[in-house]
């Protein structure tokens, strides 16, 4: 069977202790917050941290505060299955409930956490493999090698963001708190991500993502998450489209935010489509089609996930239109 | 035969809980990986990272120096080759001088912990001298040198066969319509939930015991004796219950033999549990097959001549490949009347994990082609494809053009059943754009007529021990791989002896404790073990009846309700236990045996050994799909499937096998691909499995299953135990072509390839030919065809251009004793 490599395990009870441990250990340590992504990666030796700092004993990270009327804060260890089944979230931030429900399978959603899903390692079919497989092709730059096998001439890594909740939280304008030994800072979720397959988080090694803050929804706010994948039961997104919007009664778009997963190393902002939609009527099929085209234009797939690249481009149009239709009452 | 018994059954046909159910649902069942022993060492294989190379040197010194390492083995420890077929003894437990694919095992480390073994294995240094990589059958045909193996039919062709059962070109020349097609069926793997595991030890009984997740303990027994040089009488192979096999555990495997050798060297128990990635390297899965078909029909649609050419991508070793090659042609003839038949088959070696038998072994690929081909022929002739299958079904008792004797045939009732259940007549071609129905039918073996190695011994034996408590123990070498063979054994013995099924204790899957059964492959166990069990039980029944002392004629003695009684006066009788006691008192300990060997086949030409079976099962399926034209995404709405089971020993288990077959078939039809990746040649010589993981090798999960309506057709087969036929493999066959035909009904495009992915459907929708699939077949230098006239053209089962082969059995008998 696949064995985990050797590592030391710390189980602090306080967030400050965890932050202090990370400050000590630097890049030698990883945070464990559910483990459904990290532990398989460790078994494949994609990551081999000397120490794991387990967060499960830190109660504060499970806390929830606020309410839909004022905005809500979810502790980083909130399980994906809790979000999936939470009626207040489903009513006020439906895209988040939809995204959480579409992650992996029920047992994995019972283990996986919101913070863990946001920090999910980027994925690539040349990287998510066992050590002998990676030795057989010659290691890639994301782990042990020099080259990017997706784009051999490229100076950067093109591994793909594959989290379902990140594009949704970007579209909802949510924020996260990052805690370190030096203190804490609060940033928009959008700013948590960097456009690089290796350094895909702006979070520093000493920082722990402790909470997610959801804005109070306006009465006319709508949101949706549409996911393209091989199997409805189980799979990472090859394209995830998260959209939120405020619509007037006649269908005119007041404001929209649209982010994509599975199309780059960070959630892709479909800013052109958003600008186009502002002030236009989503009920107009031509408007909807043109916006969908614009979304598909930024959904630039690479050949490192499931499905062929050209098909994914064609399917992107259809799925973008579907997402936009979901925004209509 | 017991099938003629007119009385109602005690056990058969009842939806009883299977005898091994409690163990499975409570976790009590011990699978191979659950076996552990004190002082056990762990084995890890170091596998090739290059696809094709000579091994120049292996440096094991760094691995040996690791604390906790007890032994390191290399190919030098295994000079004797092995392989499942006598004609393909081409594997070494560890590569000797060459590696043939990424994943081929080169060395092995034995250590006190699995992690230590893994870490030490990574320190083994192998120097390779790379050889040209052969990635596809087309390349194998084009590049004869370097040869992947130095045997076979020349260059990188492993096996090429050619048969003419009548003059097909002449038949096509005079046909009303000739249709020509090319098809491709992608390779896929078994994906059994349980990964292979083995534990080997030298016991105080001075035997080498190998506990392994194998479907064929008897063949592992033979291979281990041959390679290890240990007398077979001192080797015991135990096959515990398995979490699925589907053909993936029917070869003797290198890891089993290495574990055994390591146990001999260290004197300690040695365990290996493969990772999922390693299981993808063991493979032996479905061969990718390219097909070329030409068929001539008369005005009514009757087939006057059918020709098929197949090209198989065999991977790096022989495995069952010679049989697989024959199977791509052998069963084309057992469903519909075909006047003349031409078959060409070619298997090539490539630098990929070896292909072998997967559920349906070699026949789902040509069945897919044939059933789609017929759909097209019916379309051209304006015939209803369901009615065509009824009108052209083979008659019971037929002898086919290639000399297969087919007895009971449930094909027509199967087609009629799915037609009625699906509302076919009202709905086919009438569902409107985007929605479609498709139909296909098929047939499969109930056990191969010949064993893997030539011999005249039984294919299955059952031994019964009747205890004076009323308990009966049934011993048989059959392997319970999840299919329910233990339940079949218990049910048949209980039925004949009229006792509760739980009063039969089964002891199976152990070469030291039961008579040989050849294994759980070719859908042979229910029929062959079943017939042996019925024979043994009837002999026991005769002894009990003889000793019962009821003072009535023997023919009036009945067995039922755990009693032995007077059929005319049921009150008069004794308990079953009492009957055993009286039999023991009269004639000593009550033990009986039964055994089974299939009937001789009518064909005598070279190659006639693949295809004959005591019986053939039949299946038919109708599938309804919704196809999204903007994306090509196919959603399966419902599957109606009927299966000719002969008689259902336990209808719940039969339905389970049917639904499992549909499930596996839908995975193949929609998404599964054992696909390989080549990197830019200037940067890397790699040829690697694209997705050796359960996540990225896409197969359906439970929630992806559509509704399945299963209909069982019961028409007892005289050659089966109480009339039973197989169900483990046959119901897979009609599903992929029915799906393809349904896609055509929905959007009028043909995807002549499996899997039918959204990419291919969309490409077909946007193509002027309204089709996606291959359109050529490469040139193969076929051997001179054996000319075998069909029965109705004056043939006698021999080839007219080959010496008669009557003397061959005599010559081969000398080989029986050899391991």
Residue by residue, what is the 3-state secondary structure of chain A? CCCCCCCEEECCCCHHHHHHHHHHHHHHEEEECCCCCHHHHHHCCCCCCCEEEECCCCHHHHCEEEECCCEEEEECCCEHHHHHCCHHHHHHCHHHHHHHHCCCCHHHHHHCEHHHHHCCCCECCCCCCCHHHHHHHCCECCCCCCECCCCCCCCCCCCECCCCHHHHHHHCCCEEEEEECCEEEEEEHHHHECCCCCCCECCCCCCEEEEEEECCCCCCEEEEEEEECCCCCCCCCCEEEEEEEEECCCCEEEEEEEEEECCCCCCEECHHHHHHHECCECCCHHHHHHHHHHHHHHCCCCCCCCCCHHHHHHHHHHHHHHHHHHHCC
B50 interfaces chain A, CB cutoff of 8 Å: yes
Distance CA B661, CA B642 (A): 12
CB–CB contact B698 A129 (8 Å):
no
If asked whether residues B534 and B614 sit together in one domain, one would say: no
Give the minimum alpha-carbon distance from B736 to chain A in angstroms, rounded to a whole number. Answer: 18
Q: Does A130 touch chain B (CB under 8 A)?
A: yes
Q: Kindly report the CATH number assigned to the domain that includes residue B584.
A: 3.30.365.10
Look at chain B and report how many structural domains it folds into: 3
Residues 6 or more apart from B303 whose CB is under 8 A from it? B295, B296, B297, B336, B337, B338, B339, B392
Which of A234, A310, A311 shows the shortest C-beta gap to B701?
Answer: A234
Does A3 contact chain B (CB < 8 Å)? yes
pLDDT score of B808 = 47
As a whole number, the mean pLDDT across chain B is 96
Q: Does B146 touch chain A (CB under 8 A)?
A: no
Q: Grade residue B817 by pLDDT with cuts at 50, 70 and 90.
A: very low
Phi and psi, residue B492, nearest 5°: -70, -40
Residues of chain B positioned with their CB less than 8 A from the CB of A149: 679
A125 near B CB under 8 A = yes
Q: How many CB atoms lie within 10 A of CB B675?
A: 14
B96-138 pLDDT, tens digit each:
999 999 999 999 999 999 999 999 999 999 999 999 999 999 9
Asked whether B451 and B477 are in contact (CB, 8 A), the reply is: no
Q: B697 to chain A: nearest residue by CA?
A: A306
DSSP classification of residue B189: -
Query: Three-state DSSP class for B237?
Result: strand
Judgement on whether residues B117 and B202 belong to the same structural domain of the protein: yes
Chain B contact for A47 (CB, 8 A cutoff): no
- Segments of chain A assigned to CATH 3.30.465.10: 60-119+160-214
pLDDT at B804: 58
Confidence grade of residue B2 (pLDDT, cut at 50, 70, 90)? very low
User: In terms of C-beta density within 10 A (0-12 exposed, 13-18 middle, 19 or more buried), how is residue B573 classed?
Assistant: buried
CATH class of A221-326: alpha beta
Same domain? B239 vs B354: no
Query: Cβ distance B194 to B213 under 8 Å?
Result: yes
Sign of CA dihedral B696, B697, B698, B702: negative
Does A93 lie at the interface with B, CB-CB under 8 angstroms? no
Q: Do A138 and B759 touch (CB under 8 A)?
A: no
pLDDT of B636 > 80? The answer is yes
The DSSP H or E segment spanning B707 is strand B707-713
Question: Are B758 and A315 within 8 A, CB to CB?
Answer: yes
Chain B residues inside the 8 Å CB shell of A317? 630
pLDDT at res. B68: 98
Whether residue B811 is predicted with pLDDT greater than 70 in this model: the reply is no
Distance from CA of A198 to the nearest CA of B (A): 21
Q: Which residues have C-beta within 8 Å of that of residue B291, sequence separation ≥ 6?
A: B181, B182, B183, B184, B185, B308, B309, B310, B311, B328, B365, B366, B369, B777
Best mutation target among A3, A103, A301, A307 (most B Cβ atoms within 10 Å) is A3
pLDDT of residue B802: 84
Residues of B in contact with A318 (CB under 8 A): 628, 630-631
Last-in-domain residue among B544, B561, B596: B596
Q: Is residue B107 part of a domain?
A: yes
Give, as one character, the DSSP assignment of residue B370. H
**How far off is chain A from B251, nearest CA to CA, in Å?**
21
Task: Name every chain B residue with its beta carbon within 8 A of the beta carbon of A311.
Answer: 632, 758-759, 762
Residue listed under structure tokens 């098909």: A311
Confidence class of residue B1 from pLDDT cuts 50, 70 and 90? very low
Q: Are A49 and A28 in contact (CB under 8 A)?
A: yes
- DSSP class of B682: T
Helix (H, G, I), strand (E, B) or coil at B279: helix
Q: Are residue B488 and residue B565 in the same domain, yes or no?
A: yes
Closest Cα of chain A to B279: distance in Å? Answer: 11
Q: Could you tell me if B621 and B657 lie in one domain? A: yes
Q: Is the pLDDT of residue B818 over 70?
A: no
Beta strands in B467-530 (DSSP E): 472-476, 504-508
pLDDT digits (tens, 9 = 90+) for B734-778: 999 999 999 999 999 999 999 999 999 999 999 999 999 999 999
Interval B643-665: pLDDT, tens: 999 999 999 999 999 999 999 99
- Separation of alpha carbons B623 and B744, rounded Å: 12
Q: In the 8-state DSSP scheme, what is residue B195?
A: P
DSSP-derived letter for residue B517 is B
The shortest C-alpha distance from B758 to chain A (Å) reads 8
Contacts of B359 (CB under 8 A, 6+ apart): B190, B246, B247, B661, B664, B728, B729, B732
Measured in whole angstroms, the distance separating CA B810 from the mean position of its chain's CA atoms is: 29
Sign of CA dihedral A82, A83, A85, A87: positive
Looking at residue B57, which CATH number applies to its domain?
3.90.1170.50
Chain B residues 676-695 with a CB less than 8 Å from chain A: 677, 679-680, 683-684, 686, 688-693, 695
User: Same structural domain for residues B300 and B346?
Assistant: yes
pLDDT for B226? 98
B161-171 residue pLDDT tens: 999 999 999 99
Mean pLDDT computed over B681-698? 93
B505: phi then psi, degrees, rounded to nearest 5: -95, 130
User: What is the least distance, in Å, from the CA of B700 to any CA of chain A?
Assistant: 7
Residues of A in Cβ contact (< 8 Å) with B33: 1
Q: Which CATH class is domain A60-119+160-214?
A: alpha beta
Tell me if chain A has a CB within 8 Å of the CB of B67: no
- Is residue B24 assigned to a domain? no
Do the Cβ atoms of B679 and A137 come within 8 Å? Answer: yes
Q: Is the pLDDT confidence value at B4 over 80?
A: no
Tell me how long chain A is: 329
Read off the tokens for A138.
Answer: 């010659």
Residue B698: which of A128, A136, A306 has the nearest Cβ?
Answer: A306
Residue B124 at interface with chain A, using a CB cutoff of 8 Å: no
Cβ B9 vs Cβ B721: under 8 Å:
no
Return d(Cα B411, Cα B145) in angstroms, integer.
47
Q: How far apart are CA B783 and CA B152, in angstroms?
A: 13
How close does chain A come to B353, measured CA to CA in Å? 14
pLDDT tens string B558-569: 999 999 999 999
Q: What's the pLDDT score for residue A302? A: 85
CA angle B363, B212, B246 (to 5 degrees): 20
Query: Is A66 within 8 Å of chain B by CB?
Result: no
Range of the domain at B547: 458-596
How close B8 comes to chain A (CA, Å)? 45
Query: B629 and B661: one domain?
Result: yes
Asked if B107 contacts B324 with a C-beta cutoff of 8 angstroms, the reply is no
B583 and B664 within one domain: no
Contact A116, A37 (CB under 8 A): yes
Which chain B residue has the Cα nearest residue A307? B759
Q: How many Å apart are CA B90 and CA B494, to the nearest integer? A: 44
The distance of A231 to chain B (nearest Cα, Å) reads 7
Mean pLDDT by 10 residues, chain A (329 residues): 96 98 95 97 96 97 93 98 97 97 97 98 97 95 96 95 98 98 98 98 96 94 97 96 96 97 97 98 97 95 91 96 96
Same structural domain, B716 and B731 = yes
Nearest-by-CA chain B residue for A305: B696
- Across the range B278-282, mean pLDDT stands at 98
For residue B487, give the nearest of B472, B506, B470, B510 by alpha carbon. B506
Same domain, B418 and B464: no
Please name the residues in contact with B723: beta carbons below 8 A apart, sequence gap of 6 or more.
B3, B646, B647, B714, B715, B716, B717
Q: What is the dihedral of CA A310, A315, A318, A324, to 10 degrees?
A: -100
Handedness of CA B529, B555, B575, B495 (dihedral sign): positive
Domain end point (choices B257, B282, B307): B282
Task: Give the pLDDT confidence of A252-294 residue by residue, as tens digits.
Answer: 999 999 999 999 999 999 999 999 999 999 999 999 999 999 9
Residue B20 lies in a domain: no
Q: What is the CA radius of gyration of chain A?
A: 20
Residues B434, B297: one domain? yes
Q: Is B724 exposed, middle or buried (0-12, 13-18, 19+ CB in 10 A)?
A: buried
Domain membership of residue B183 (yes or no) is: no
CB A150 within 8 A of CB A137: no
Two structure tokens written together for A316: 């992107």
**Are A1 and B275 inside 8 Å of each other by CB?**
yes
Has residue B684 got a pLDDT over 80? Answer: yes
* β-bridge partners, B621: B440, B641
Residues B263 and B303 in one domain: no
């Amino acid at each position: 069977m696949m064995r985990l490599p050797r590592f030391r395990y710390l189980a602090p009870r306080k967030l400050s202790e965890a932050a202090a441990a990370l400050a000590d250990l630097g890049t030698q340590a990883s945070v464990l917050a559910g483990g459904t992504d990290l532990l398989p990666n460790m078994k494949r030796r994609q990551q081999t941290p000397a120490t794991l700092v387990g967060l499960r004993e830190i109660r504060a990270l499970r806390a929830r505060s606020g309410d839909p009327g004022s905005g809500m804060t979810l502790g980083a260890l909130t399980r994906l299955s809790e979000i999936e089944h939470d009626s207040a979230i489903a009513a006020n931030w439906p895209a988040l409930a939809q995204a959480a429900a579409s992650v992996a399978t029920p047992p994995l959603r019972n283990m996986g956490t919101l913070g863990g899903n946001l920090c999910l390692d980027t994925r690539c079919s040349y990287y998510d493999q066992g050590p002998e497989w990676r030795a057989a092709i010659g290691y890639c730059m994301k782990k042990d090698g020099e080259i990017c096998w997706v784009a051999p001439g490229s100076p950067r890594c093109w591994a793909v963001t594959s989290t379902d909740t990140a594009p949704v939280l970007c579209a909802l304008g949510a924020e996260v708190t990052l805690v370190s030994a030096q203190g804490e800072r609060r940033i928009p979720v959008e700013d948590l991500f960097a456009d690089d397959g290796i350094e895909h988080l702006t979070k520093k090694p000493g920082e722990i993502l402790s909470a997610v803050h959801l804005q109070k929804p306006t009465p006319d706010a709508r949101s949706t998450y549409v996911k393209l994948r091989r199997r409805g039961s189980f799979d990472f997104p090859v394209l995830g489209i998260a959209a939120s919007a405020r619509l007037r009664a006649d269908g005119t778009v007041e404001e929209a935010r649209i982010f994509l997963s599975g199309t780059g190393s960070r959630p892709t902002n479909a800013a052109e489509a958003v600008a186009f939609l502002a002030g236009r009527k989503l009920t107009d099929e031509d408007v909807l089609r043109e916006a969908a085209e614009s979304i598909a234009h930024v959904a630039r797939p690479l050949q490192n996930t499931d499905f062929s690249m050209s098909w994914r481009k064609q399917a992107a149009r259809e799925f973008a239109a579907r997402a936009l239709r979901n925004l209509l009452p | 035969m017991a099938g003629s018994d007119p009385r109602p059954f005690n056990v058969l046909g009842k939806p009883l809980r299977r005898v091994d159910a409690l163990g499975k649902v409570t976790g009590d069942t011990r699978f191979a990986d659950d076996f552990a022993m004190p002082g056990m060492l762990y084995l890890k294989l170091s596998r090739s990272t290059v696809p094709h190379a000579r091994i120049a040197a292996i440096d094991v010194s760094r691995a040996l120096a690791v604390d906790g390492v007890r032994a390191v083995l290399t190919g030098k420890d295994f000079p004797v080759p092995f392989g499942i077929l006598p004609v393909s003894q081409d594997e070494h437990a560890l590569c000797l001088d060459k590696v043939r694919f990424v994943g081929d095992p080169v060395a092995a480390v034995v250590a006190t912990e699995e992690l230590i073994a893994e870490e030490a294995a990574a320190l083994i240094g192998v120097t390779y001298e790379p050889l040209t990589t052969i990635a596809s059958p087309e390349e194998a045909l084009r590049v004869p040198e370097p040869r992947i193996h130095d045997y076979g039919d020349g260059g990188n062709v492993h096996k090429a066969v050619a048969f003419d059962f009548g003059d097909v070109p002449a038949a096509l020349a005079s046909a009303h319509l000739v249709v020509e097609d090319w098809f491709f069926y992608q390779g896929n793997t078994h994906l059994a939930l349980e990964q292979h595991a083995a534990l080997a030890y030298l016991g105080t009984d001075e035997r080498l015991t190998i506990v392994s997740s194998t479907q064929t303990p008897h063949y592992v027994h033979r291979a281990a004796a041959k390679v290890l040089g240990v007398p077979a009488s001192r080797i015991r192979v135990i096959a515990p219950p398995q979490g699925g096999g589907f053909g993936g555990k029917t070869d003797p495997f290198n890891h089993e033999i290495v574990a055994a050798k390591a146990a001999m060297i260290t004197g300690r128990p040695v365990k290996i549990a493969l990772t999922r990635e390693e299981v993808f390297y063991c493979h032996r899965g479905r061969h990718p097959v390219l097909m070329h078909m030409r068929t001539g029909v008369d005005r009514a649609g009757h087939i006057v001549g059918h020709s098929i050419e197949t090209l198989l991508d065999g991977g790096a070793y022989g495995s069952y490949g010679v049989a697989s090659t024959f199977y791509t042609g052998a069963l084309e003839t057992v469903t519909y009347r075909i006047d003349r038949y031409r078959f060409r088959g070619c298997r090539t070696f490539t630098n990929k994990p070896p292909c072998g038998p997967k559920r349906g072994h070699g026949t789902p690929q040509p069945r897919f082609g044939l059933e789609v081909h017929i759909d097209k022929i019916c379309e051209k002739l304006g015939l209803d494809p369901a009615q065509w299958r009824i009108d052209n079904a083979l008659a019971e008792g037929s002898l086919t053009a290639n000399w297969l004797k087919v007895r009971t045939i449930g094909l027509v009732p199967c087609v009629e059943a799915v037609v009625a259940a699906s509302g076919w007549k009202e709905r086919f071609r009438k569902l409107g754009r985007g929605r479609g129905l498709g139909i296909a039918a098929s047939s499969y073996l109930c056990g191969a007529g010949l064993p893997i190695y030539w011999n005249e011994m039984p294919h299955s034996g059952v031994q019964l021990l009747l205890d004076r408590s009323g308990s009966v123990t049934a011993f048989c070498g059959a392997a319970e791989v999840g299919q329910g063979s233990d339940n079949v054994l218990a049910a048949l013995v209980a039925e004949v002896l009229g006792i509760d099924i739980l009063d039969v204790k089964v002891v199976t899957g152990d070469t030291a404790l039961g008579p040989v059964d050849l294994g759980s492959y070719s859908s042979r166990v229910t029929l062959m073990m079943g017939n042996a069990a019925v024979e043994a039980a009837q002999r026991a029944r005769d002894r009990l009846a003889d000793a019962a002392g009821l003072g009535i004629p023997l023919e009036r003695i009945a067995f039922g309700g755990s009693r032995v009684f007077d059929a005319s006066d049921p009150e008069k009788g004794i308990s079953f236990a009492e009957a055993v006691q009286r039999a023991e008192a009269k004639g000593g300990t009550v033990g009986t045996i039964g055994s089974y060997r299939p009937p001789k086949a009518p064909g005598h030409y070279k190659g006639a050994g693949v295809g004959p079976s005591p019986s053939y099962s039949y299946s038919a399926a109708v599938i309804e799909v919704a196809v999204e034209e903007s994306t090509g995404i196919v959603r399966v709405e419902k599957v109606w499937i009927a299966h000719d089971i002969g008689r259902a020993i336990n209808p719940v288990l039969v339905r389970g096998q049917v639904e499992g077959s549909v499930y596996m078939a839908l995975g193949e039809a929609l998404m599964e691909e054992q696909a390989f990746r080549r990197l830019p040649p200037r940067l890397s010589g790699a040829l690697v499995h694209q997705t050796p993981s359960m996540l990225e090798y896409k197969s359906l999960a439970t929630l992806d299953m559509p509704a399945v309506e299963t209909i069982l057709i019961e028409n007892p087969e005289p050659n089966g135990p109480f009339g039973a036929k197989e169900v483990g493999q046959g119901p897979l066959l009609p599903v992929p072509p029915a799906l393809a035909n349904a896609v055509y009904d929905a959007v009028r495009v043909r995807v002549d390839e499996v899997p039918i992915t959204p990419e291919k459907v969309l490409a077909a929708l946007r193509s002027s030919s309204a089709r996606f699939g291959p359109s050529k077949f490469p040139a193969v230098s076929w051997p001179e065809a054996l000319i075998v006239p069909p029965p109705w053209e004056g043939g006698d089962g021999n080839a007219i251009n080959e010496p008669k082969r009557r003397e061959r059995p005599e010559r081969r008998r000398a080989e029986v004793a050899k391991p």
